Each structure stands twice: as C-alpha cells, then as structure tokens.
Amino acid sequence: MSTVEILLPTTIDTTIPMPAGARAVPYDPHAPLAESAKTADGLVLWGGAKDLPDRAARELPSLRWVQTLGAGYENVSAAGFDDSVTICNGASLHDATVAEHALMLSLAAARRVDVFLRDQSERRWSDRGGLQDLDNAREFTTLAGARVLIWGFGGIGQTLAPHLRMLGADVTGVARSTGERAGFPVVALDDVDRLLPETDLLVMVLPGSDENRHALDERRIRLLPSTAWLVNVGRGSTVDESALARALAAGRIGGAALDVFEVEPLPPESPLWDMNNVIISPHAAGGRPRGYSDLIAQNVEALLGRGQWRNVVRSGSGAEADG
C-alpha cells in the first residue's frame, strides 16, 4: 500500500509520530492551500482561517478523512466534503480544560470576583468583605449545599461534577439517557422544567445543533429562581441571548458567567458588556486539546485499514465507527 499523506496544521506539533505507512505534511492553516496538498489523504484542522474547511472541501479532492481537534464540528460537517470522507471531532480532548474553566466561572460567580475586579480598578475597598451570607436562597454565594444542574452530561460534565461535589454541591446531570453516570444522578430533558425552579447554578455544556438551539429559552429562564446563576461553556446558540439579557436587566435571575455567545466576538453593542451581574470570557474554555497525537495516530491507523475510527461524527464510504 502506498504511503498516505496527512496534512497537519502548524498550530500543533507537526513532528508527532505517524504510524508506519503514513507521512505528516505540515501546512499553514492561515495561508492558501498549496498545490501539493491536493494529493493528501487526511486533513487535521485546528485554528486557522474560518473558511478553511470550505476551501479544503473544494480544493482537496483526494481526501478520505478530516479530523477536527475541536469538540464542535458543525462548520466541518457543513463544509461540503464528499460523502466518502469520514469526519471525526476532538471529543474528550477538551474535557479537562473546559471543566476547569467552568469551575472557575462557577466560583467567580459565587464569590463575585467580577465585583472585586471592578472595585480594584477604581481603588475602592469592596463592601463584600467581612461577614457574608451562606444562604443561597437569598443570594448565590457558595457551592456548599448549592443545587447544581449540568445540562449536557458528557465528558466535560462528568469531569466537572466531582469538583463541584468536592466543594459541597448537590449535582444532577441532564442527558438523553437517564439513570446514574459517573456516580451522579442523570435526568432526561423532560425533567428540566421541574428542576429549574430548584436550581442555584445552571451549567450549560450543550453542543451547538438545530435541536439544541435556544434550549434555554425565555420560558425556561423564567423558571429559574431570581438568585440563580447561569454558566455557559457549551455553545452560545443554546441560550436565547436576548431573553437572557432581558432577564438579567430585570433582576429575574442572579447573573450569568458566559464563555460562549450567539455571535462571536461578542458585538460591542451587546447589552451584556455593561451589566454588573455578567462575567464574560472570550470563548477561552477550550483551546488546549490534550492527547491529540494519540487521537490522530489511532485514526490514521483506521485510514490505513488497521483499526477502528474514534470520534466519528460522519462515516464515509466503508468507514466503520467505534460507536
């Protein structure tokens, strides 16, 4: 069998080991695709120009496999790759980093780090020192005893949950299949409306899809207690941002710590920027895929016909997914 060529972006280590029968070819994901790339069998995507998947679909006719290292893959699936091309994503590569960021936002919300930073910038001693309330029914101030609902209980949610529990939180997951997962109770979507009125902290980790668009809509936002905080590290499209802004402005919920938005970068005219109960981070939860070399190697082996695919989101002709 002839050697397969795998295009590796210069945004990662392009010297990672390749299985026998494969050769890594570095490419600049910010630059036009070279003429020599047209013979490539595989393409790894990480960072680069937004239109790179669309250009690759048009300009790389020999592709049989596309690997994005991002957990999200909507733009890759929609790029127009031939049906024979197997598409895989970076599920699990971001579990630890996104969970870490979600924990940071949760703690920042409970301890109101945003208020401290504003006071610091104005050289003002915050009035939130000294005696403090521990009753989340009056204001969300602690994870100890907090009722936390993690909506989207996959790898990220299951990585986050033990850290929240360690700090005393009562954690429930929401997923398609119910029961117990990683030692935590998991309920179905049908139970969300029942649990929202009892939630102190709602953590959204849903992927972007038509099915999940505005999963947290105005009706569901109204079900949350006026003291509840929202953390979103999934996709911005899963929250009705306009409805959220209205609820925040009216004091119908306690606050929101957001890493993702419906439009990114968040437009300067967004009312979220000026709200004193909103914490904003610039889609910074991921960005550091862990273990990508092993994922690439496994899928190169599958491309060579010597193993099973991992993280398949669309099977190409003849591809056998690992489930």
Catalytic residues: 235, 264, 283
Question: Measured between alpha carbons, how far is 202 from 191 in angstroms, rounded to an integer?
Answer: 14
Contact criterion met (CB below 8 Å) for 50 and 74? no
Question: Measured between alpha carbons, how far is 319 from 322 in angstroms, rounded to an integer?
Answer: 10
Question: Measured between alpha carbons, how far is 231 from 258 in angstroms, rounded to an integer?
Answer: 6
Question: Measured between alpha carbons, how far is 259 from 230 in angstroms, rounded to an integer?
Answer: 11
What is the distance in angstroms between the CA of the first residue and the CA of the last residue of the chain? 27
Question: Measured between alpha carbons, how far is 90 from 296 in angstroms, rounded to an integer?
Answer: 10
- In order of 21, 185, 233, 255, 307, the CA distances from 141 in angstroms are 57, 24, 20, 12, 50
The HSE-up count of residue 211 (CA atoms within 13 Å, CB side) is 6
- C-alpha dihedral over 309, 175, 103, 108, to 10 degrees? 140
Pairing of the two strands 184-187 and 179-181: antiparallel
Contact criterion met (CB below 8 Å) for 53 and 45? yes
Q: Where are the beta strands (DSSP E) in 109-182?
A: 147-151, 170-174, 179-181
Residue 244 one-letter amino acid: L
Scored b (16 or more CB within 10 A) or e, 94-108 reads bbbbbbbbbbbbbbb
